[in-house]
Structure formats: structure tokens, C-alpha cells
Structure 1
Amino acid sequence: MKFIRIILGKIILLLNFVFRPSGVKRTPEAQQLADEKAKALTLYQFEACPFCVKVRREMKRQSIDVELKDAKNNQAAREELLQGGGKVKVPCLKITNQGEETWMYESSDIVAYLQKEFA
């Protein structure tokens, strides 16, 4: 079973690379504002998780650079996710707003949030 997951993960990553979306074009000022807003976001993810790929593709579409933390291979990131969000489940978007943290699970909710904030 583990072998199948490894193979499927590699296929997902390959397809994501081949069919990667293009990002939106913004004026330099608008892109700078989007970059500033994106600094308040951190995505906890597994590299080959299909739901994490879905969120990363939306980040690419919105032309934003969000900090990524690998909760599978990085024990410190995994512990941050467990302590802050309450469970090790990915994808999870940490939103920091005026010192207050919100932890958002579910890829569809994260994609909707990114579309609302950056579209």
C-alpha cells in the first residue's frame, strides 16, 4: 500500500508540473499589496498530497508566495501544526492577523479564502 501511495504521489507531482496554471498579472503596486498580505499566511502541507497540490495550484493562479511548511518531513513544522491547529491534518493555512492566528483546514475552504482575498 505504501508503494502505491509513493507512485501515485510522484504521478500527482509530475502532472502538477506539466499542467501548472499561469498566474494572474497585476500592476507592480497591486502585486506588492498581494505580497504583503501573503506574508501573513503559512501553509502546512505534504508535498504529494492531492489536496495540498490543489491549494498550491490556487496560490500559483493568484500569483502569491505563501510560506510552505512540510508537516510530513519537518518535525518542528509538524509540532507547530499540532500545537496551533490542534491536529496534524493537511492542508492547513495559518492566517496571522494583528497577532491573532486562525487555522483553516479543508482545501476547498482555503481555496475559497485565497480567491476572496487575492482575486
Structure 2
Amino acid sequence: MKTAIRTFFRTLRAVLGPVMLLKERLTQPTGLVREAAAQARVDQQCQSLALYQFSTCPFCIKVRQEMLRLSLPIEKRDAQHHTANRNDLLQGSGATKVPCLKITEANGQTRWLQDSGAIVGYLRQRFAAAP
């Protein structure tokens, strides 16, 4: 019975994964346009961030769409197919739950932010343009 259930979900992922990636590509938001100096500051700040994610996870897609909307060049680390990334995620956050944003503070301390809603909220608060 376990084998049948695993096979069902693997097949479901194999069918739905490409559809989800296509939808992500077709519905990409327009990025926020900043002055060159402001974008350079944002780019510098994004070097201390890394998103641990799976390519076809709907919650990861939500975070990646927000990154595009805010024009954030945050490094994306595949925790599904790369064992080293998965191990870093497990060691740092205590779980292999994605999406997870690794935030390295200026003092060198590291925070791990899980949950797509919390990550989107953090990115909007930190990087959204003031009205």
C-alpha cells in the first residue's frame, strides 16, 4: 500500500510540476524599478540572504514571485536535489521545511525564517518602496 501511495504522489508531482513552473513563468510580475544607486544598495543587502527552496513547491513559487516583484537578486539554493543545501538547511533551521530564508546579520549572526507568508512579509517590510 505504501508503494502505491508513493507512486501516486511521484506521478502527481511529475505531471503537476512542469505545469506549475510554466504558470510561474507566464505570470511573472513586473519588477519594481528603483534608481541605480538605490538598486545597488538593495543588491548589496541581498548578498546576506539565501532562499532554500524546491523548484515546484507552491509556497516557494509564491516567495520567488515576490522576489521578482521587488527586484531582489536573492540567491536561491535547491534543497531538494542538492544534499549539501538540504544538510545546511537541516543543521541551521532544524528542519528541511521550505521555503526558508537564511538571513545573515551584519554582526555575523544567522537567522532562519520559515513560512512563505513570514518571508514575503519580511521582504516587503525591508525592501518595498515607500509610497
Task: Give the alignment's TM-score, normalised by structure 1.
Answer: 0.98
Equivalent position of 2:124 in the other structure: 115
Q: Mark the runs of 5 or more structure 2 residues left unpaired by the alignment.
A: 1-7
TM superposition outliers: structure 1 runs of 4+ over 3 Å: none
Identity of aligned residues (%): 45
Task: Give the alignment's TM-score, normalised by structure 2.
Answer: 0.89
Q: Mark the runs of 5 or more structure 1 residues left unpaired by the alignment.
A: none
- Residue 58 of structure 1 and its aligned partner are, at CA, apart by 0.4
Kindly indicate whether structure 1 or structure 2 has the higher relative contact order, using CA contacts under 8 Å at least 6 residues apart.
Answer: 1
Equivalent position of 2:115 in the other structure: 106
Q: How many residues align?
A: 119
Equivalent position of 1:10 in the other structure: 18
Cα RMSD for the two superposed structures: 0.6
> What's the CA shift string for 1:67-113, capped at 9, x where partnerless?
11100000000000000010000000000002000000000000000
> What's the CA shift string for 1:2-56, capped at 9, x where partnerless?
1112211111100010111110000001001110111110000000100000000
> Partner amino acid for 1:72?
Q
